[in-house]
Amino acid sequence: MDEYQLLLDLHKNADRQGPGGDAETWKALDLAQVDTSAPLQIADIGCGTGASTLLLTQLPNARITAVDLFPEFLDELEKRAARTGVTDKISTLPCSMDNLPFDNETFDVLWSEGAIYNIGFTKGIRDWHRFLKPGGILVVSELTWTTGDRPSEIHTYWAEEYPEIETASAKIGILENYGYAPIGYFVLPEHCWSANYYQPMQNRFKEFLDRNGNSDAARAIVEAEKKEIALYESYKTYYSYGVYIARKVEGPN
């Protein structure tokens, strides 16, 4: 099994493929000031197995297009939607987020939790701008430095893993430069990382290794995840996911 398949195997049955939380999704929606009683066309881009997608179906007149590169994640989302009786509110689309097939001004809301890093924050918010209706809302979470300075070990690690990591002020400036008016921002609290993401993943390590014959490739993935977790425990003061909420305005796209 190659690395791609191993990563899918580790994450496909997880509730979340990255840090986040139900309360935080609702907080972002509240800050977005969306009329939740109105008909809403929402795209959840990089939805994974659908933690945020399924919450958004609770909006009474919402229809959600759930987009992910991996059909295996979408299959799991469809099973969960069927179990909760919301299949009619979701359509799934296996597609790369840098090649979305939507018409201009299709959506009232673009949502993307813990996924925009796959193509980069600047490219994502720039390329997706045209898919929003005038005045539409963008909600994205993005890896963010929470201090101006940080220890060299964690700075080097994330600069190599995700060179676009920056402070919130820098990210907000990018939004302003690409046709958005920022209207809200907050930092994901520790439980979104530890209790909601890392601990469940750690609980899956043994079964994951057993399923894959304790292969060198599987062990390498586990060791890489353990390193990330240890760094978070040591340096969580200095970074988190920032949740950015912005409204589309006329501007470059």
pLDDT of residue 216: 96
DSSP letter string, 142-173: EEEESSS---HHHHHHHHHH-TT-EEHHHHHH
The separation between CA 116 and the C-alpha centre of its own chain, rounded to angstroms, equals 6
Distance CA 29, CA 121 (A): 20
Return the biggest CA–CA distance within the chain.
54
Angle (deg, nearest 10), helices 216-235 and 199-211: 170
In the predicted model, is pLDDT for residue 226 greater than 80? yes
Note the pLDDT tens digit of each residue in 30-70: 999 999 899 999 999 999 999 999 999 999 999 999 999 99
Name the 3-class secondary structure at 99. coil
Three-state SS at 54 = helix
Neighbours of 31 (CB within 10 A): 17
245 Cβ neighbours under 8 A, 6+ residues apart: 28, 31, 32, 137, 138, 139, 182, 183, 184, 185
Q: How many CA atoms lie within 13 A of 38 on its CB side?
A: 10
What is residue 250's predicted lDDT score, i.e. its pLDDT? 72
pTM value is: 0.95
Of 131, 7, 111, which is closest to residue 51 (Cα–Cα)?
A: 111
Other beta carbons less than 10 A from residue 152's beta carbon: 8
Cβ(226)–Cβ(198) under 8 Å? no
Report the pLDDT value the prediction gives residue 237, as an integer from 0 to 100. 97
Give the CB-side neighbour count of residue 250, counting CA atoms within 13 A.
0
Mean pLDDT score, 2-24 = 93
Instruction: Determine how many CB atoms are found less than 10 A away from the CB of residue 131.
Output: 21
Residue 245 has pLDDT above 90, yes or no: yes
Q: Report all structural domains of the chain as residue ranges with CATH numbers, in order of start.
A: 19-189+237-248 (3.40.50.150)
Q: Is the pLDDT of residue 246 over 90?
A: yes
Name the nearest CA neighbour of 121 among 155, 165, 154.
Answer: 165
Position of tokens 């001004």? Answer: 105
| pLDDT tens per residue, range 125-176 | 999 999 999 999 999 999 999 999 999 999 999 999 999 999 999 999 999 9
What was the pLDDT predicted at 68?
A: 97
223: which residues sit within 8 A by CB, 6+ positions away?
Answer: none
